[in-house]
Amino acid sequence: MSVNLTLLTVMGALYACGIYLILERSLTRVLLGLMLLANATNLLILTTGGYAGLAPLFHQDTDPGQYNDPLPQALILTSIVISFAVTAFMLGIIYRTWVLARQDEIQDDAEDRRVAKTPSFDAEDDSVVPVETSEFPLTMIGTDGQSVSDVPAGAEATVTVADRTLDAEAAASEEQPGSRNVTIPGKEGSGQ
C-alpha cells in the first residue's frame, strides 16, 4: 500500500495545531482546535485511498483501480457534514455561556475542587450517636404519670419550646446529628 507523505505531514501539522488549541482555556480556540482536528482526520481518511486518481464517476471502460478510492470519500462526506452540525452546536454553547456568565473561558470545576478539600470528618460517618434505648422515645412525654404510652391516633405529641409548640417527633429528630430533613414549623403552617 502506498503512503502519501505530503498528506500525512499536513495531517500531522493540523493535529499538532488542533491539539495545541484545544489545550487552551478560551472556548473559541477550543472549537477552532476541534475543527482543525476534524480536518486532520479527514485528511487521514483520504490518505487511506492511496494515490490520487480519477473522480469516482463510473465509466464502462475504466479499470476500478484507476479511480480514487470511493469508500473513504463517502466516509469523509459524512464526516464533513457531521462536523458542521457539531460546530454549530458548539457555537450555540459558546453563545449561551457568554449570555449567562459573560465567560468565554473554560472554568475549573468548583465541585472537583470542593471534593478535594473534603475534611476527613463526616457527620454521617463520624459524629457521635447518642445511645437510643427505645424506638418510641416520646411515648413518655405525658405531663402526668397517667397519660403515658401511645398517643391516641390523630393527636400529635407536642413539645413546648420557648413560646412555640413543636411536633414532638420533629423536635426529637432534630436532636439527632445529621438530620437535616426536619423543618421547624414556622408561623406559616406545620412542618410538612
Partner 1 sequence: MITVLAVHFAVAAVAPFLFRKFGRNSFYALAAVPAAAFVWLILQHGAVYAGAPGAGGSVPTGVAEVLPWIPELKIELAFRMDALAWVMSLLVLGVGALVLIYCARYFKDKDDYLGGFGAQLLAFAGAMFGLVTADDLLLMFIFWELTTVLSYLLIGYARTRLSARRSALQALVVTTAGGLAMLVGLIILGSSAGTYRIATILELAPTLVTGPAAGAVATAVVLILIGAITKSALVPFHFWLPGAMAAPTPVSAYLHAAAMVKAGIYLVARLAPGFAETPYWLPLVLGLGLATMLVGGYRALRQTDIKLILAYGTVSQLGFLTMVVGLGEPDAALAGLALLLAHGLFKATLFLVVGIIDHQAGTRDIRKLSGVYRSSRALAIVAAIGAASMAGVPPLAGFVAKESVFEAFLHYSTAAGPWGMVILAGLVLGSILTFAYSARFMWGAFAVKPGVEATPFKPVKPAFLAAPAILSLLTIVFGLWPAPVDGWIQPYAALFVPAGEDAAAAAGHLALWHGLTPALGLTAVTFALGLFMFYGRTAVARLQGLVPAWIDGDRTYQLAIGALDDAAVWITGRTQRGSLFFYLSVILTVAFVLPLTALVLADKPPPGNLFFIDPNSPLQIVVGAGIVIGALAAVRANKRFLAVLMVSVTGYGIALMFALQGAPDLALTQMLVETIILVAFVLAMRSLPAELRDRTGGRYRVIRVIIGAAFGITMVFVAIYALGARVAAPVSLEFPKLAYEGGGGLNIVNVTLVDIRAWDTFGEISVLALAATGVASLIFVRGRGDRLRTSATVEEGSVGRQQPKRSAGPGNTRDAAALAMSRRFAASSRDAWLVAGRTMAPERRSIIFEVVTRLIFHSMIVFSIYLLLAGHNLPGGGFAGGLTAGLALTIRYLAGGRFELREATPVSAGALLGIGLATAAASGVAPLLLGGQVFQTAILQFWLPVFGDVKFVTSTIFDIGVYVVVVGLVLDVLRSLGSEIDEHFEEHPAEPSDEQEAGGIAAETTAKGKA
CB of residue 21 to partner 1, shortest distance in Å: 6
Beta bridge partners of 161: 164
End-to-end alpha carbon distance in the chain: 74
Binding residue for partner 1, selected from 162, 163, 181, 189, defined by CB under 8 A: 181
What x/- string results for residues 75 through 104 when contact with partner 1 is judged by CB under 8 A?
Answer: -xxx-xxxxxxxxxx-xxxxxx-xx--x-x
C-beta separation of 160 from 181 below 8 A: no
The window from 131-139, 158-166, 184-192 that contacts partner 1 (CB under 8 A) reads 131-139
Residue 168 found at the interface with partner 1 (CB under 8 A): no
**CB count in 10 Å sphere of residue 149:** 8
What x/- string results for residues 50 through 69 when contact with partner 1 is judged by CB under 8 A?
Answer: -xxxxxxxxx--x-xx-xxx
Residue 161 found at the interface with partner 1 (CB under 8 A): no
C-beta separation of 185 from 191 below 8 A: yes
Residue 124 found at the interface with partner 1 (CB under 8 A): yes
**What SS3 state is found at 184?**
coil
